[in-house]
Amino acid sequence: MYNPVLTFDIEEWFHPVLLGASERGEQKPRAREVLLWLLDLLDERKVKATFFVLGETLELYPDLFGRIASSGHELACHGFTHKPLWHQTSESFRAELRLFKDRFTTMLPGVVLRGFRASTFSLEQKTAWAADVLESEGFLYDSSIFPYRNHVYGVPRAELSPYRLSSNDVAQDAPGGRLLELPMPVLNFGRIRIPFVGGFYSRVLPLKLQVFLIRRTLKLRPVILYFHPWEFDPGVPRVPSGKLNEWITYTGIEKMRGRLEYLLQKFDFMTAWELVQVCERSRPSC
Give least dist CB 119 to Zn ion, A.
Answer: 5
| Among 128, 127, 188, residue whose Cα is nearest residue 156 | 188
Interface with Zn ion, residue 11, by CB under 5 A: yes
- Which range binds Zn ion by CB under 5 A, 6-14, 29-37, 105-113, 159-167? 6-14
CB-wise, 8 or 273, nearer to Zn ion?
8
CB-wise, 85 or 270, nearer to Zn ion?
85
Report yes or no: 52 and 5 within 8 Å, Cβ to Cβ: no
In this structure, how many other beta carbons lie within 10 angstroms of the beta carbon of residue 247?
12
| CA–CA gap between residue 20 and residue 192 (Å, rounded) | 30
Q: Which residues contact 274 (CB under 8 A, 6 or more apart)?
A: 5, 48
Give least dist CB 57 to Zn ion, A.
Answer: 10
Q: Which residues contact 29 (CB under 8 A, 6 or more apart)?
A: 12, 57, 60
Report yes or no: 146 and 183 within 8 Å, Cβ to Cβ: yes
Give least dist CB 181 to Zn ion, A.
Answer: 18
In the bound state, the residue with its beta carbon closest to Zn ion is 9
Give least dist CB 224 to Zn ion, A.
Answer: 15
Listed in order, strand segments (DSSP E) in 78-214 are: 115-116, 141-142, 163-165, 179-181, 186-189, 192-195
- Which range binds Zn ion by CB under 5 A, 10-18, 22-30, 189-197, 202-210? 10-18
How many chain residues are in contact with Zn ion, going by CB under 5 A? 3
The backbone torsions φ and ψ at residue 162, rounded to the nearest 5 degrees and listed phi first, read: -50, 140
Interface with Zn ion, residue 9, by CB under 5 A: yes
CB-wise, 19 or 286, nearer to Zn ion?
19
CB-wise, 64 or 118, nearer to Zn ion?
118
CB-wise, 81 or 92, nearer to Zn ion?
81
**Cα 133 to Cα 35, 51, 226, 232, 244, distances in angstroms:** 30, 21, 23, 33, 34
Give least dist CB 27 to Zn ion, A.
Answer: 16
Q: How many CA atoms lie less than 13 Å away from 172 in the CB half-sphere? A: 4
Segment holding 146, helix H or strand E? none
Give least dist CB 154 to Zn ion, A.
Answer: 15
Give least dist CB 4 to Zn ion, A.
Answer: 20
CB-wise, 27 or 136, nearer to Zn ion?
27
- Which range binds Zn ion by CB under 5 A, 2-10, 69-77, 126-134, 271-279? 2-10
Give least dist CB 9 to Zn ion, A.
Answer: 4
Interface with Zn ion, residue 233, by CB under 5 A: no
Report yes or no: 182 and 141 within 8 Å, Cβ to Cβ: yes
CB-wise, 11 or 74, nearer to Zn ion?
11
CB-wise, 54 or 279, nearer to Zn ion?
54
Q: What b-and-e string marks burial along 192-221, b requiring 16 or more CB atoms within 10 Å of the CB?
A: ebebbbbbbbbbebeeeebbebbeebbeeb
- Residues 91-130 touching Zn ion, rule: CB under 5 A, are 119
- Judged by the rule CB under 5 A, the positions of this chain that interact with Zn ion are 9, 11, 119
